[in-house]
Structure 1
């Protein structure tokens, strides 16, 4: 597997606290990468800790278990620390999306719960939203999807601050043509954060050489 190039960016939007979080963990023993984005949903300082815990737990677990098991582990971990006897974290389950990119596996595997999103663009220029908005947010229900990894140029995991502010076409065009994934992530997060009321988090994983549009005379 070609070594992925990763870009990450966040924007507060119109919120007081940054309650989105992300985690990117590379397996030191295998060509496997786990990426998670979590959104704790409520504008509260304790919610930021919930999102960070959820994202890190999911990405860590995804290197050993399936993405849906990793999301479940994140929910369990957050619920445990939110128990009244153990602390003062707000009683909210984060929305979360987790992806595993494994160079030894032909499929890109994704799991999600709630309003975190995943998009893929192919070198042929196709834009695909990989997550389903009908999945209830903040519940233990976890959905999964696997798609062939061949031909996927870039993968985006993001919070709903990006997906609810920018249309799918704008997101896809940025993934296709904006170049370096760090520039793409910054463009998406800052554009969404400047326009919308919510935190915006974008993690872009570039798997293949970017598509270059043909010049016209």
Structure 2
């Protein structure tokens, strides 16, 4: 029994390593348009997509304009789109396997930094390959566990990107507040200096008139 349990443990560990999906998350800077390709091998798979506009190339710029994302299948037909969003997360079912294109369009006059993540969820039917009645359900459960774990990682990555965006916005707002305060102080000091100068000129004129 111990030998059998050890064998199953080894098989479980090996299967987990085999089924783990690599992350397809990237962070890039967009000027006008940027496209990415991702191959989907099976029809019926679920593609999970998320993106967050992290920041603009100037700390003085803050806008809710967002970007456009259009997803096209291997035939060039549009399967999903997201318009004027600074952040979005969605999924779609693949109708035709092959290379899908994800094209971003930036309507802002500034360069934008975007965090983009894609994950393809696929369940294999292991009873077609493994006839053992014990291992077939085990493989299926491992695949489901792997998908659940990656979904958690996918959600976590999206939330981290949102947190990064908010931190940058807060920092930029703090900088703008400091610069505004310094500017207002400088204007106030300049106005005070001008007032003192005008008052001195006024008193000098009055003194000159009284002496005459």
TM-score (norm 2): 0.30
Which of the pair has more CA radius of gyration? 2
TM-score of the two chains, using structure 1 as the length reference: 0.30
